[in-house]
Amino acid sequence: MFNKSSIRTIGIDVHKDTYALSTYCPDTDSFIGEITTASESKMVINYVRKLQKESGPNVTIITGYEAGPTGFGLQRGLLKAGIECKVMAPTTIYEKKGGNRVKTDRGDARKLSKALHWGAFKEVVPLSPEDEATRDYIRNAR
């Protein structure tokens, strides 16, 4: 089991054109390195590599995002680069009672990074590229 303070969790609010990233740092109970970038796996990989270099070898980094219409390509890209990535079921992610009145990409990324840290979500089983292509074909045939 990991020491919770030796983990950095990166929440990724995923959209078609952009990704908002926020890293939760439990040592200080704060968010660091918040950025918005183009929606490309390589941009997230570069962000994680920079964080790994700054954090040192004893810090585990876990990334995650909500399952949605953008699919599992980001997860596949991160896993291929050796970066742990969880895809979270949106309806299972813990949220404070009363909800969030002002919804922003940065706020969503923060919520995801804290949910990752505390394990307050259920993970989605990713589709294979073939199954994902079939799903997309069926959706577009309607």
Question: Rounded distance, CA 121 to CA 79, Å?
Answer: 19
Q: Which residue has the higher pLDDT, 98 or 75?
A: 75
State the average pLDDT over residues 126-137: 83
pLDDT at 83 over 70: yes
Confidence of residue 1 (pLDDT cuts 50, 70, 90): very low
Mean pLDDT (the chain, rounded): 90
Buried b (16+ CB within 10 A) or exposed e, 38-66: ebebeebbebbeebeeebeeebebbbbbb
pTM for the predicted model, two decimal places: 0.87
Extended strands (E) in the chain: 7-14, 18-25, 30-38, 60-66, 84-88
**What domains are there in the chain, each with its CATH number?**
4-141 (3.30.420)
- Strands of the sheet containing 84-88, edge to edge, are 30-38, 18-25, 7-14, 60-66, 84-88
pLDDT at 2 over 70: no
What's the pLDDT at 9?
A: 97
Tell me the percentage of the chain whose pLDDT exceeds 70.
Answer: 93
